[in-house]
Structure 1
Amino acid sequence: MSSIEALYIFDEHNTPLLEQTYTGRPPSGSTLLPLYLAHAAPRPSLVYLPNTNPPTLLYSIIQDQLLFLCPSSNDTDPLQILEFLHRVTDALEDFLGGPLLASKIESHYDVVAQLLGEMVDGGVVSCTEPNALKDVVDAPNFMKTLLGGVGLPSATPSSLAPSNTPFSLGNRPSPRLGPSGGAGAATSSPVPWRRANVRHTSNEMYVDIVETLHVTLSPSGRPLAALANGMIAFTAKISGVPDLMLQLGCPGGIANAVSLPTFHPCVRLNRWKDRPGELSFVPPDGRFTLAGYEVDLLGSAALDSFSTTTPTNAAPKLNIPATVSVLTSLGPTGSDFEVRLQLNPRFKGKASSPLPSSTSSFGGRGGLGKGLGSTAFGGSASTGTTAAPAMDGMVIHIPLPTSVKNVVELKSGRGSGEAVFQPAESRVRWAINSREIATLMANDRGTGAGVLTTLRGTVVGHDNYDDGDAPDTSLSLSSNTYDYDDDPSSHQSSTSAAPTKPRDEGNASKKNKVLMPSCATVSFTVKGWLPSGIKVESLNVDQKKSKGLGAGVQPYKGVKYLCVSRKGVETRC
C-alpha cells in the first residue's frame, strides 16, 4: 500500500502555505521546491530526485494555480498518490468553495488541518469521501457566521443528532472513522460515502452527462482518430438512504460502445458486469461523479479502413457539429491562406418560450420518463434539445510558425465572427458567437451540405519587407554611376533596365510556404447532444431497499446532455 509521507501546498508565487508531515522524516518543502522548479515546464506529475537523502519520488498537481507536492521515498503506486492529491483538492473545494485561493486556506487553517488529519492516518489513506468528512470536520468559520446571522445553528442540520425540533441545538458527539472509512460511532452513517441523517424538504435527482470530443482529420477530411471521454455527474438531494437504479442506453449496446469505464465506490460492480448499462447505487448526498468512460467513435474496425485495398468511400463517417479545412499558399506570391468552416445543419437549435416557474426553479431541466427524449434547457434563444441540439462558443484557432510577424487583411465571409492575430501565441483566433451562428444557420437552404463560411488572411514574415517591398538600390547605383560605356546604344539599354528589378514570384512562393499554417482546431459546446449517442433511459428509486424516504414520495428527476470540444476537432494541412 502506498504511504503518504507529507503534503506541501504552495501559492501561485511559490510561497509555502502549508506543510503536513504524516510519517518518517521526508525532505522539507523548501528543499523540494527548487529541485522541482529546476525541471523545464511543462513539468511532469512525477519527478525522481536522486540527490536527496534518501532519493525521493515527488508527486505534484496544480489546481487553481496552487501547487501540491507529495514526496515518497518508497516504491509506491503512482496512481494512488496522484488520486489522493486530487481527492485533497476536491475536499478543500467542497469545504472552502471553489476556486481554491491562497487566502481561503490561510483564513481557515483549522478546517484544512482537520481535513488533512482525517484523510490520512499514519501515512495511510483512511477517508477521502466528502460526505464522511462532513460528519467529522466542523464547517468553516464563515459558514458558521452566515448561519448564525440568520438564526440557524452553526452546524449543518443533516449532521446534527435527530430530535423533535427541526434543528437540534445540543452538542453532538464527535464520530471518528476507522482506517477503512467505516463508521466508528452510532451517529455515523452506515454508508461510508453518505452523511448520516440526511434531510431534504424537496427531493430531487439530476443527471448531467458531459462528453469531451477529440477528433483528428486528414487534409482530405478523412477521420484519423475520434474519441469521446464522458463523465456522468449525479446530484442527489434525497432524504434518508435511497437505493437508485440508472439505466443507460446506446445504439449498438452499451457493452459495445463504452470502454475503460470507471465508477464511484457506491456503484455495485457485479450488477454492471451482469447487465451492462445498469447502474445500481446508494448515492452520496449532493453532487458527485458517478462514472466515467471512453468511446471510440470510429469503432473497432477503424484500422481496416486505412488499408490500401479499402476504397475511399468505405471510410467511417462522423456526424460532428463543425469541421474546418485550410487552403494554403494562395495568391500571386503564395502568402494568402483560407480557412473554411463547415457547420452541420442538424445543430441549429430552436427558440424556446420562457419556462414555467415550477420548472425554472429546478434549473431548467427536463423531466425523466416519457418526455426524456425532448429534454429542454434554459429559456433563451440558444436553447438546445435532444431533438434540436444547439451550438455555442464557436472558436477556431489557426496556429502559425513563429517566423510570422503579422497577419493582415483578415476578412471573414458573410460577416461571421471576429478574427484577430495573437502574436504572443503565434496564432489567429476566429470567434463566432451564438447569435452569428444562428444567423448562419437561418440562411441554410436545406440542401444537407451544411453551412459554409470562410476566413482569408495574408501572412507577413519578419524579412518580407526587406526582400520583397524595397528595391535593391545599391546594385542599380553601382551599375549606372560607375560603369562607363562608349557605345551610346548600350548605355541607353543599360539605363532602361536598371531602375527596377523584376520580382521573382517563384522564390517568394517558396519563402512564404514555410509561413503557412499546418493545422486548424475548432472549439465549441453543444447542448442536448452527445457524440456517443448515450442517453438516460430511466432513473428509478427502489422503494423496498430505500430507507427514510417516506411512503409515496416521488423525487423530481432531470437530465442534461452536453458536448464540449476545447480545440478538440483538428484538421491537418
Structure 2
Amino acid sequence: MSAIEALYIFDEHNTPLLEHTYTGRPPPGSTVLPLYLSHPSPRPSLIYLPNTNPATLLYSIIQDQLLFLCPCSSDTEPLQVLEFLHRVADALEDFLGSPLLASRIESNYDVVAQLLSEMVDGGVISCTEPNALKDVVEAPSFMKNLLGGVGLPSTTPSSLTPGATPFSLGSGRSPRLGPSGNTQGTSPVPWRKANVRHTSNELYVDIVETLQVTLSPSGRPLSAIANGTIAFTAKVSGVPDLLLQLGCPGGISNSVSLPVFHPCVRLNRWKERPSELSFVPPDGRFVLAGYEVDLLGPAALDSFSTSTTAKSAPKLNIPATVSVQPSLGPTGSDFEVRLQLNPRFAGKSSSPLPSATGSSFPGRGGLGRGLGGHPQGTTAAPSIEEMVVHIPLPASVKNVMDLRVVRGAGDAGYAPGDRSIEWRISSREVGMLISNDRGGGIGATATLRGTVIGQDEDEGLEGGAVSLSSNTYDYDDDQTSSYQSPSEAPSKTKDEGSDARKVKQNKVLMPSCATVSFSVKGWLPSGIKVESLTVDQKRSKGLGAGITPYKGVKYVCVSRNGVESRC
C-alpha cells in the first residue's frame, strides 16, 4: 500500500504555502523544490531524485497555478499517489471555493489542516470523499470568520447538541466543536452525508463528450474517438436509490469501451445489464461514470487496408469539417481554408414545441430560441456554439498578406510573427450560414484565403544588392522587330523557370493542417442518451411517500482543436 509521507503546496511564485508531514522524515520542501525546478519544462508528474537521502520519488500536479508536491521514499503505487493529489485539490476547491487561490488557503489554515488530517491517517489514505469530509470538517463561512475576528464563538446554536441552550458569554458553557448537522452520527453510506434535507428534490444528468477526429488530405477519417463523462447532480432528501437506464443505437455493450465508475455504482448490476446504472448518489454534483467510444467502429481498421474507393470509407456525421488547399496562385504563395458545416446543426426545429432531450425529461440550463422561434440546443434542434478554425503556420512564415473571408462569415485574426491564424465564427453567424444555404442539404461552406510571405522574400526586397549596367545600345526603329523577336522565347522561359522556383520555395511556407473547435448543445457523437431515471421507493429511505423528484437531462459535445484535417 502506498504511504503518503508529506504534502507541500506552493503558489504561482513558488512561495511555500503549506507543509504537512504524515509519517517518516521526508526531505523538506526547501530541498525538493529546487530539484523539481531544475528539470526542464514540461515537467513530468513523477520525477526520481537520487541526490536526496534517501532517494525519493517526487509526485506533482498543478491546479489553478498552485503546485502540489508529494515525496515518497518507498515503493508506491504511482497512480494512487497522483489520484490522492487530485483528490486533495478537489477537496480544497469544495471547501474553499473555485478557483483555488493562495489567499484562500492562507486565510483558512485551520480548515485545510483538518482536511489533510482526515484524508490521511499515519501515511495511509483513509477518506477522500467530499460528502464524508463535510460530516467531520466544517466549511468556512463569512459569519464564522466575522465572529471569530471579534472574539465571539463561531459555532452557531444549530450545531450544538440536541436540547442544549445557545451559548452566552455568562453561561460558562462552551459550544460543541464540529460541523453542523452531525448530531445523528455519520452516514451509513461513505460517500453521502448524514441527514440530508432538501426543500426541492431535483435530479440532473449532464453527459459531456469531447470529440477527437483526424482526417486525411482526401477527407477520409483516420481516427474518431469520443470521450464521455456523465456528471450527476442529486439534491434529494434522505438516502435515495436510483436506476439510470442508458441507450445507444448500436447497444451500450457494443459501443462503450473502457468504462470507469464512481464507487457508488453497483458493478454487478452493470455486468449483468451493461445499460443500467444502479447507485446511491452522493449529495450534490459528482462524476458518475466515464467512457470512451470509437466512432469508426471495430471494422474501421480492416476497411483501411482492404477498401480503395472513397464510398467504402467510414462515414462520420459531425458538425463541421475543414480542408486546406495549399500552393495556389501563379507563384504558389496563396492558400485556401474551406469550412464545411453540417445542416443538421442549424439550431431550429420543425416541430412546434420539441422536448429538450427527446425523452420524458424536461430540458434545463440556458436554452435560447432558434431562428424559427423554437428552442435550440436540444436533441430535436442541436445548435453549434462559437466555432474557431485554427491554422498553424511554419516558423519560416514572416507575415500573411491579404487575409480575407471570401465566402461565408466570421473574423480572421493574424499579427506578424504569430505562429497561427484564428478564424472565429459566432453561433449566430453559423446559424445564418446554414439557414441561407442553397446546396440541397449538403451544408454551408465558408472560405478563407491568404498569401504567405517568408523571411527570404522580405530580405531580398529590403537589403538586396542591385547592379546597374553601363552599356548603351543604338538601334533603328525599323530593326526593333528583328532584335526583339528572338529574345521573346528566352524571356518567357526565364519567367516560367522563376515561377517554378518560387512555387518550390513557397511550398515550405504552406500550412500543413487545420483544426476546428466548437461546442454543440443537444447532441452527442456517440448517440448515447438517457432512456429513464427512476427512484426505487422500496430501497430509498427518508424521501417521503408520494414525492417525485424533478428530473432534467442535458447533452453537450465539446471539441477543442479536436477535428484536425491534414494536407
CA offsets 1:231-282 (integer angstroms, 9 cap, x no match): 0000000001111111111111101111111111111110001110111111
User: Residue in 2 aligned with 1:194?
Assistant: 192
User: Residue in 2 aligned with 1:453?
Assistant: 446
Distance 2:406 2:286 in 1: 44
- Quickly say closer, same or farther: Cα 1:398–1:347, change in 2 above 3 A: same
Pick aligned residue for 1:512 from 506, 512, 518: 506
Identity level (%): 72
User: Residue in 2 aligned with 1:277?
Assistant: 275
CA offsets 1:298-318 (integer angstroms, 9 cap, x no match): 111110011145543211100
Between 1:338-347 and 1:17-26, the stretch displaced more is 17-26
User: Residue in 2 aligned with 1:78?
Assistant: 78
Letter in 2 for 1:515: L
Query: What aligned pairs does 1:260-275 form with structure 2 within 5 A after superposition?
Result: 260-275=258-273
User: Residue in 2 aligned with 1:557?
Assistant: 551
SS of alignment partner, residue 265 of structure 1: coil
Could you tell me whether the CA contact under 8 Å between 1:369 and 1:538 is conserved in 2? no
User: Residue in 2 aligned with 1:49?
Assistant: 49
1:380 aligns with 2:368: yes
User: Residue in 1 aligned with 2:433?
Assistant: 440
Distance 2:195 2:85 in 1: 29
Q: Which residues of structure 1 form unaligned runs of 5+? A: 176-183, 356-364
Could you tell me whether the CA contact under 8 Å between 1:229 and 1:294 is conserved in 2? yes
CA offsets 1:188-247 (integer angstroms, 9 cap, x no match): 111111111110000001000000000001011111110000000000000011111111
- Quickly say closer, same or farther: Cα 1:147–1:413, change in 2 above 3 A: farther
Could you tell me whether the CA contact under 8 Å between 1:368 and 1:557 is conserved in 2? no
User: Residue in 1 aligned with 2:28?
Assistant: 28
- Quickly say closer, same or farther: Cα 1:507–1:369, change in 2 above 3 A: closer
1:414 CA displacement: 3.5
Distance 1:280 1:33 in 2: 45
User: Residue in 2 aligned with 1:413?
Assistant: 406
Query: What aligned pairs does 1:484-495 form with structure 2 within 5 A after superposition?
Result: none
Query: What aligned pairs does 1:497-508 form with structure 2 within 5 A after superposition?
Result: 504-508=498-502
SS of alignment partner, residue 525 of structure 2: coil
Pick aligned residue for 2:302 from 301, 304, 308: 304
Q: Which residues of structure 2 form unaligned runs of 5+? A: 166-173, 371-375, 489-493
Distance 1:16 1:473 in 2: 59
Query: What aligned pairs does 1:71-470 form with structure 2 within 5 A after superposition?
Result: 71-142=71-142, 144=144, 174=178, 187-309=185-307, 311-350=309-348, 371-372=360-361, 375=363, 378-381=366-369, 383-414=376-407, 416-422=409-415, 425-445=418-438, 447-467=440-460, 469=461
Distance 2:241 2:278 in 1: 7
SS of alignment partner, residue 135 of structure 1: helix
- Quickly say closer, same or farther: Cα 1:544–1:378, change in 2 above 3 A: same
Letter in 2 for 1:81: V
SS of alignment partner, residue 93 of structure 1: helix
1:145 CA displacement: 5.3
TM-score by length of 1: 0.87
Letter in 1 for 2:550: Y
Could you tell me whether the CA contact under 8 Å between 1:366 and 1:559 is conserved in 2? no
Distance 1:159 1:14 in 2: 39
- Quickly say closer, same or farther: Cα 1:377–1:351, change in 2 above 3 A: farther
1:16 aligns with 2:16: yes
Letter in 1 for 2:434: M
Distance 1:514 1:540 in 2: 60
1:91 CA displacement: 0.4
1:139 CA displacement: 1.6
Could you tell me whether the CA contact under 8 Å between 2:184 and 2:195 is conserved in 1? no
Distance 1:146 1:305 in 2: 68
SS of alignment partner, residue 339 of structure 1: strand
- Quickly say closer, same or farther: Cα 1:427–1:20, change in 2 above 3 A: same
CA offsets 1:530-568 (integer angstroms, 9 cap, x no match): 000000000011111111111100000000000000000
Letter in 1 for 2:60: S
1:172 CA displacement: 5.3
SS of alignment partner, residue 312 of structure 1: coil
Distance 1:128 1:164 in 2: 32
TM-score by length of 2: 0.88
1:5 aligns with 2:5: yes
Distance 1:505 1:217 in 2: 31
- Quickly say closer, same or farther: Cα 1:217–1:304, change in 2 above 3 A: same
CA offsets 1:157-182 (integer angstroms, 9 cap, x no match): 998777899xxxx955759xxxxxxx
Number of matched pairs: 538
Distance 1:423 1:121 in 2: 56
Could you tell me whether the CA contact under 8 Å between 1:368 and 1:559 is conserved in 2? yes
Distance 1:160 1:200 in 2: 21
Q: Tell me how large the CA RMSD over aligned residues is.
A: 3.3
